[in-house]
Amino acid sequence: MTKRPIAIMWFRNDLRLADNPALRATTQWAREHDGCVLPVFILDPVISDQLGGATRWWLEKSLTSLDRSIAERCDVSANIGAFSALRLFTGKASGVFDSIMETRPVGAMFWNRLYDQPSITRDTGIKATMMDRGLTCESFKAQLLFEPWEVKTGGGTDFKVFSPFWRACQKSQPPRAPFKAPDTITLFDQIIKGAVELNTLDLSPKPFDWAAGLSERFTPGEKGAMDQLFEFIDDRLQDYADLRDRPDHRVTSELSPHLRFGEISPFQIFHTANHFADANPGKGKTASKFLSELGWREFAHHILFHAKDLRSAPLQDKFRDFAWADAPDDLEAWQRGQTGFPIVDAGMRELWHTGYMHNRVRMIVGSILVKHLLIDWREGLAWFDDTLVDACPANNPFSWQWIGGCGADAAPYFRIFNPVLQGEKFDPKGAYVRQWVPELRDMPEQFIHKPWDASPLILKAAGVTLGETYPVPLIGLKEGRERALAAYQALKKG
Ligand code: FAD
């Protein structure tokens, strides 16, 4: 049995080999100490609390892909069961590490940092224990371009508004260049007590395989992420600034789920987009618009890091006692894409089918829920957490607080999206609605976003019977808007 010292690479939301600083440090340590690498993933309560149905599906595929990529780079053939290179565990991470160390000569441990409070608390405790035991233990910046403690206002406080935040980021030390995956990994090649098979993690869709639409749209894993990046840069980035708000044009990168699981790093994206800008004079504007969206991701993570509980507690205290409506039937109609507002229903059905929704449509469906229906933003957050493949501990609560008006740099209370005007502006021919709400496919352009305004003759010609083949709206747009304004005004005065 080998007595070579072991360096543990603890994978979490960084399921990639390239541009992975913790993995690089692990392989380097193993080389310098004539040791070997033990790559682990632990489905502990902190991670499983952050997963919904769609992200569980993604994670299973992503772990499979990572395992294969590690195995391809191993210089020994491991004899450790079906899931060969990456060792999987369940349970509290600290307990898993204790148990490994009881029987194996672990000398070092490395990971990339996370920014939510439960992960920080867990990681800080583990680091302290490991260092007490005399282990080398180091964490790295890999998930963000800028650490939350690196970007401050002139007065030394945290930014609460995006534009000055992003300006300050751009004036900071430029993000480092990405680096390649290690050529070879000297793998710890023996059985480890407690390691489990992938199916033990119980990540597959239940009670039946509902994920066909997700597989059609996405290819989880590092290769899928890089293919997606290059396809976007080659074919779509040139039109991004002009068309990014149009759900009827597929022009955005759809990199969000890959970023969520760290199958690609923001450094790789940042530098590839900058190369595009250098190589395409006159296209700098579109590249910088795209990079500013990555900036929103940074901002959301910084807010997450500084907040006590971004998921549950509104950042603005005055919202704590807001009188949200108790309307379970409306909530269910919204979840099922049966609100009677075509663009909202299209978005909710796209989400259900593919695990994804266009950003503009996320804003429209969010606004209808929180403003017109006065349903608590945390209900929307919970549904998105369960159904989005990119559901992320930072972007999702940050965005829902933004929609609710209670977050950082939030939409002002009087910004109430009108789903008809939004539809007419961003899906002018109704192509997006026709794709996802087939019962309205034959409605004329003029009425596709407001079928209730069409005459009985037009409805009949399109095969639509409101209240039967397609719902009547849950609430009048004017009535919902006035009710929301009154509720938000009351809060403002209170
Ligand atoms: P692109 O336009 O190609 O942008 C590139 C990357 O920038 C994205 O992949 C994402 O990482 C980041 N980004 C883009 N827009 C935003 C934004 N507004 N805020 C923060 N980061 C952004 N994004 C998530 O990644 N996970 C979520 O759970 C999530 N929940 C959301 C909930 C609501 C109510 C709203 C309004 C937005 C939410 N977003 C979320 C933000 C945004 O909608 C998605 O990041 C974007 O639609 C992903 O598509 P894309 O990769 O094609 O984006």
Tell me: do 129 and 230 sit in the same domain: no
Tell me: do 398 and 356 sit in the same domain: yes
CA angle 150, 308, 132 (to 5 degrees): 70
Q: Report which protein residue has its CA nearest ligand 1's atom 43.
A: 359
Q: What is the pTM of this model?
A: 0.97
Tell me: do 461 and 335 sit in the same domain: yes
267-313 residue pLDDT tens: 999 999 999 999 999 999 999 999 999 999 999 999 999 998 999 99
Q: What is the pLDDT along the chain (494 residues), one digit of tens a residue?
A: 558 999 999 999 999 999 999 999 999 999 999 999 999 999 999 999 999 999 999 999 999 999 999 999 987 655 555 457 999 999 999 999 999 999 899 999 999 999 999 999 999 999 999 999 999 999 999 999 999 999 999 999 999 999 999 999 999 999 999 999 999 999 998 889 999 999 999 999 998 999 999 999 999 999 999 999 999 999 999 999 999 999 999 999 999 999 999 999 999 999 999 999 999 999 999 999 999 999 999 999 999 999 989 999 999 999 998 999 999 999 999 999 999 999 999 999 999 999 999 999 999 999 999 999 999 999 999 999 999 999 999 999 999 999 999 998 888 888 899 999 999 999 999 999 999 999 999 999 999 999 999 999 999 999 999 999 999 999 999 999 999 999 988 887 76
Q: 214 lies in a domain?
A: no
Tell me: do 126 and 36 sit in the same domain: yes
pLDDT value of residue 2: 58
CB 110, CB 138: distance < 8 Å: yes
Tell me: do 125 and 160 sit in the same domain: no
Q: 185 lies in a domain?
A: no
Domain holding 29: CATH number?
Answer: 3.40.50.620
Q: 337 lies in a domain?
A: yes
Alpha helices in 14-72 (DSSP H): 21-32, 45-49, 53-72
Out of 141, 163, 197, a domain closes at 141
Residues with CB under 6 Å of ligand 1 are 244, 252-256, 259-260, 293-294, 296-297, 300, 359, 362-363, 366, 384, 388, 390-392, 395-396, 399-400, 403
Domain span holding position 92: 1-141
Q: 469 lies in a domain?
A: yes
Q: 198 lies in a domain?
A: no
Q: 418 lies in a domain?
A: yes
Q: 478 lies in a domain?
A: yes
Tell me: do 380 and 282 sit in the same domain: no
Neighbouring C-alpha atoms within 13 Å toward the C-beta of 460: 3
130-150 residue pLDDT tens: 999 999 999 999 999 999 999
| 3-state DSSP assignment of residue 435 | helix
Out of 113, 141, 169, a domain closes at 141
Domain holding 226: CATH number?
Answer: 1.25.40.80
Tokens representing 293 are 């969206």
C-alpha to C-alpha distance for 221 and 219, rounded to whole angstroms:
7
Instruction: Specify the ligand 1 atom closest to the Cα of 244.
Output: 2
Q: 311 lies in a domain?
A: no
Please indicate whether residue 150 is annotated as part of the active site. no
pLDDT value of residue 76: 61
Instruction: Specify the ligand 1 atom closest to the Cα of 391.
Output: 28
Tell me: do 358 and 407 sit in the same domain: yes
CB 183, CB 24: distance < 8 Å: no
Tell me: do 428 and 346 sit in the same domain: yes
Tell me: do 266 and 120 sit in the same domain: no
Domain holding 424: CATH number?
Answer: 1.10.579.10
Number of domains the chain is built from: 3
| 3-state DSSP assignment of residue 35 | coil
- Catalytic residue selected from 57, 58, 111, 296: 296
Tell me: do 171 and 241 sit in the same domain: yes
Name 10's bridge partners: 40
Q: Report which protein residue has its CA nearest ligand 1's atom 20.
A: 297
Tell me: do 328 and 270 sit in the same domain: no
Out of 306, 331, 350, a domain closes at 306
CA-to-CA dists, residue 230 to 13, 182, 283, angstroms: 22, 21, 16
- Catalytic residue selected from 29, 377, 383, 402: 377
C-alpha to C-alpha distance for 406 and 408, rounded to whole angstroms:
7
- Catalytic residue selected from 147, 150, 280, 359: 359
Tell me: do 341 and 442 sit in the same domain: yes
